[in-house]
Structure 1
Amino acid sequence: MENTTSEHMTKQTESESALEKQLKITNTITDNATVAMFMMNDRGFCTFMNPAAEKMTGFTFAEVQDKPLHDIIHHHHPDGTPYPMADCPIDRALPTNNNVRAHQDVFIRKDGSFFPVSCAASPIFENGVPVATVIEVKDLTEEKAAERALRDSEEKFRFMAESLPQMFWTTRPDGYCDYYNQRWAEYTGIPLDRLYGYGWLETVHPDDAQKASNAWNRAVETKTEYQVEYRVRRHDGTYRWHLTKGLPRLNESGEVMMWVGSTTDYHEQKKMVEELVATNEELAASFDREVAASQKAESQRLLLHDLFMQAPALVAIQRGPEHVYEMVNPFYQQLAPGREFIGKTVEQAWPELKGQGFFKLLDKVYQTGEPFVGNEMLAKIDRHGNGQMVDTYYNFVYQAFKEEGRIAGIVTFGFEVTDLVLAKLDNQVKSEE
């Protein structure tokens, strides 16, 4: 008899020990879970709440214990209207014997703030009777914020892309165009769905298509900047010159993520530049025409300014007898990158040129109106602002311009030919040796 009782007590002790061990494991799991966990009884009262749930809601278990969980964290909609418990799919999971999975909803924290969540609710039955509901909840605040940020970013990108006056485009890393802004359809008259991929080549002049395609393939292969000019067919059948630029977006590993680029109509600018660089006489004539046009329409003046700023040559405008700089283009600025020109006289901007004859030449052109053409003229300049004088050579023209019939200033237009002159001098020295 004693042996039977002892064996029974031993088994009971082992069973209790196993149950206690299992309970510890369960508590460890729930206490360290990153998702919030709740348990409700068959009346919807909260009977369990893990630390993650307390942190998420701001309530302690003591504050919600044996109270309707719905009335604490789910009692109103975000618009302020009441949320009846009878309408809540989480509370209906137990009486309807229905598992709720990935249900997105909005809960309420202790401070009254709403936050988005994803829920799963599973009913628990004992002997076929519903006794409890286990609820797992994930806070989606950061995820929703990230989604909103992504949507906002995409909307901002599209707004900016559609607002650009240029024809804007993006491609996949392999060069396949996957986005065009509406300007493409408006300009070419071709629906956007026909342009995706390599449909843009359909708009390029037959004589320029191969050059454009080769340049694009080379840029994609080498992951380098793409810049090429070609003629694009407008919706009325007219071909006009365009400048296309594309840049690769690289990740930290140097791999191309996408390409971004624009195609800009610069037909007038190209034609004007060609006229400007043809001859000095054409430069003067073009300038006079643009000055006259600028007096009639501000838009023409701005067009000329843009032309000079984009011209692949040294261009500057000096106004008045003191030769005050009114405009210098980027190529001219590169002669002395750190130097200020606008609002300064030529003598103030280039003190090192004193005694080299350039100031007298400017005075003569301003006084007589006769242009001066210089060929391979030497100018000793402090190019880098470090006091080191360097020999530079230029082909240039000083051309006076008039306003209301009087000389108003001088346009400087030229090219640096330093490398060419030094090469000639080097060859000359070698031949004498």
Structure 2
Amino acid sequence: MDQAFAQENTNLKEVEKALENQLKITNTITDNATVALFMMNDKGFCTFMNPAAEKMTGFSLAEVQDKPLHYFIHHHHPDGSPYPMEDCPIDRALPTNNNVRAHKDMFIRKDGTFFPVSCAASPIFENGVPVSTVIEVKDLTEEVASEKALRESEEKFRFMAESLPQMFWTTRPDGYCDYYNQKWVEYSGLSMEELYGYGWIEIVHPDDREKASAAWRKAVESKTDYQVEYRVRRADGKYRWHLTKGLPRLNEKGEVIMWVGSTTDYHEQKSLVEELVSTNEELAASFDREVAASLQVETQRQMLHDLFMEAPALIAIQRGPEHVYELVNPNYQKLAPGREFLGKTVEEAWPELKAQGFFDLLDNVYKTGEPFIGKELLAKIDRHGTGEMIDTYYNFVYQAFKEDGKIVGIVTFAFEVTDLVEAKQKLQENKENSSK
């Protein structure tokens, strides 16, 4: 009998040791889990919290044991309305014997702040009697913030792409066009569905299609810049000359992940060159070189590499009713290379423009939200800080932008057309002189 008792005692110690080891393993798992773990009894009172749960909520287990857990971390909606415990799917999991999976909700920390979570609740029964609920909670704050940042980035990209004066596009690595801005629809009269893919080829002049397609195929195959001029059919059936340039975006392995580009109407410039050739060969040749040089610079500016900072246009963002410069791209800075813009109001940055009406235009756009489009407008500026006022001309757009539905600033997109205006003036002089 003594031997049997000793054997039973040995077996009991082995069981106790196994249970201790299992408890250590369980504690290790719960203490080091990255998700928050709670356990509630059949009354909804918290009976267990792991360290991750205490860190997430700011409460200790001792602080949440005098009433149901719901009334500590889930008692109100973010809009301030009460959240009755009987409406909570987590608390209803046990009495309804219902497993809750991937339930998105908002919890409340000890300091009163709300945070987004994903929850799973599993009821536990013993002999058919509901005894407790195990709850797993993941804090989604960073995930939600990342999703919001991604949405804002996409919205900002689309806003900038739709605000550009040019026809902007992007393609997949193989050259399939997967995005056009609204300017394409307005100009061509085609729908987005008709343009997607290689629909742009259909509105290129038949005599220019092979040249345009061949240049595009070569660029895609060689991963090099794409630049070509061709005539594009307008919605009224007329063809106008356009200059198209595309750049490949590469990843760290040197692989093309997308193409970005723009197609710019320069029909007037090209027509002007042809007219100058017919009236004054020497002037036309000189002007042709100037236009070619200007186009080369403009095409370099026209790509939306990194959107604003690499844009082809002169771009600036002014925020608030005082129009404080928040961003200027390198092309805008070139208007006055030695001048400081960031943090200054438009009036502080451009005192010489105060009497020229531009500030009133900005105020009106900020007040009404209606964009202003200027064509070949004169601006007298002290470009080099020498006190010498220079006549310059611009095609530009003042476009208001909103945050949370409220106008908060203005985006300026502009192109300097001084050379074009001066050439037109010279052409007019030549015509007047030849008629005398």
For the criterion TM > 0.5, the same-fold answer is yes
What's the secondary structure of 1:132's corresponding residue? strand
Cα distance between partner residues in 1 of 2:185 and 2:176: 18
1:325 paired residue number:
none
Please tell me the residue identity of whatever aligns with 1:112.
Answer: G
- Of 171-180 and 271-280, deviating more is 271-280
Quote the residue 2:294 is aligned against.
310
After TM superposition, the structure 1 = structure 2 runs for residues 19-418 of structure 1, keeping only pairs within 5 Å, are 19-276=19-276, 280-281=280-281, 283=283, 310=294
CA, structure 1 residues 83+152, in 2 after alignment: closer, same or farther (shift >3 Å)?
same
Provide the C-alpha distance between the structure 2 equivalents of 1:180 and 1:122, rounded to a whole number of angstroms: 49
3-state SS in 1 of match to 2:207: helix
Segments of structure 1 that go 5 or more residues without pairing to the other structure are 288-303, 314-340, 345-398, 406-433
How far is 1:3 from its partner? 1.6
The Cα shift of 1:275 comes to: 3.9
1:226 and 1:210 mapped to 2: Cα distance? 15
Q: Is the 1:124–1:131 contact (alpha carbons within 8 Å) kept by the matching residues of 2?
A: yes
Structure (1 or 2) with the larger CA radius of gyration: 1
* Local SS of the residue matching 1:310: helix
Which ranges of 4 or more aligned residues in structure 1 deviate by more than 6 Å?
284-287
Post-superposition offset of 1:284: 7.7
Distance 1:312 1:81 in 2: 61
Structure 2 counterpart of 1:164, one-letter code: L
Q: 1:205 to 1:55 in 2, by over 3 A?
A: same
Aligned counterparts of 1:14 and 1:278: Cα–Cα separation in 2: 107
CA distance in 2, matches of 1:172, 1:286: 40
How far off is 1:343 after superposition? 8.1
Kept after mapping to 2: 8 A contact 1:242/1:267: yes
Tell me if structure 1 keeps the 8 A contact 2:277–2:284: no
Secondary structure at the aligned position of 1:206 is classed as coil
Q: Does the C-alpha gap of structure 1 residues 86 and 268 become closer, same or farther in structure 2, counting only changes over 3 Å?
A: same
Query: Offset at 1:9?
Result: 1.3
Q: How many Å separate the matches in 2 of 1:284 and 1:157?
A: 40
String of CA shifts for 1:222-265, please: whole Å, max 9, x gaps: 11111110000011111100001111111111111111111111
- Within 5 Å, give how 1:8-19 maps onto structure 2: 8-19=8-19
Q: What is the rounded CA distance, in whole Å, between the counterparts of 2:61 and 2:76 in structure 1?
A: 21
RMSD: 3.0
Q: Measure the CA separation in 2 of the matches of 1:246 and 1:38.
A: 55
Native 8 Å contact 1:276 1:286 kept in 2: no
Contact 2:166 2:263 (8 Å CA) reproduced? yes
CA distance in 2, matches of 1:14, 1:114: 48
After superposition, the C-alpha distances for 1:373-397 in whole angstroms (9 at most, x for unaligned) are: xxxxxxxxxxxxxxxxxxxxxxxxx
CA distance in 1, matches of 2:241, 2:71: 69
Provide the C-alpha distance between the structure 1 equivalents of 2:245 and 2:190, rounded to a whole number of angstroms: 21
Distance 1:281 1:273, change over 3 A: closer
State the aligned residue count: 308
Give the corresponding residue for 1:426: none
Identity across matched positions, percent:
77
1:282 positional shift: 6.3
Deviation at 1:192, TM superposition (A): 1.1
How far apart, in 2, do the equivalents of 1:207 and 1:220 lie? 22
On the 8 A contact 1:48/1:65 being kept in 2, the answer is no
Compared CA separation, residues 15 and 211, structure 1 to 2 (3 A): same
Q: Tell me the SS of whatever aligns to 2:208.
A: helix
**Structure 1 residue 181 displacement after superposition:** 1.0
Letter in 2 for 1:49: M
Counterpart Cα distance in 2 of 1:281 and 1:209: 30
How far did residue 71 of structure 1 move?
Answer: 0.6
- Aligned to 1:232, the other structure's residue is in SS state strand
Secondary structure (helix, strand or coil) at the match of 1:154 reads helix
Q: Is the 8 A contact 1:47 1:66 kept in 2?
A: no
2:235 aligned counterpart, secondary structure: coil
Q: Which runs of 5+ in 2 are unaligned?
A: 298-382, 387-422, 430-436
Is residue 272–residue 307 contact of structure 1 (8 Å, CA) maintained in 2?
Answer: no
What is the Cα deviation at residue 110 of structure 1?
A: 0.9
Q: Secondary structure at the match of 2:134?
A: strand
**Structure-2 change in CA distance of 1:255 and 1:284 (3 Å):** closer
Q: Deviation of residue 274 (structure 1)?
A: 3.6
Specify the SS of the correspondent of 1:186: helix
Aligned to 1:162, the other structure's residue is in SS state helix
Shift of the 119–283 alpha-carbon distance from structure 1 to 2, 3 Å rule, reads: same
Deviation of the 1:67 alpha carbon: 3.3
Q: Is the 8 A contact 1:273 1:311 kept in 2?
A: no
Matches of 2:227 and 2:6 in 1, distance apart? Answer: 93
- Paired residue secondary structure (1:170): strand
2-structure distance, mates of 1:42, 1:254: 59
Aligned counterparts of 1:80 and 1:15: Cα–Cα separation in 2: 52
Q: Give the AA of the match of 1:310.
A: S
Provide the rounded CA distance (Å) in 1 between the counterparts of 2:123 and 2:235: 66
> What one-letter code is carried by the residue in structure 1 that aligns with 2:261?
G
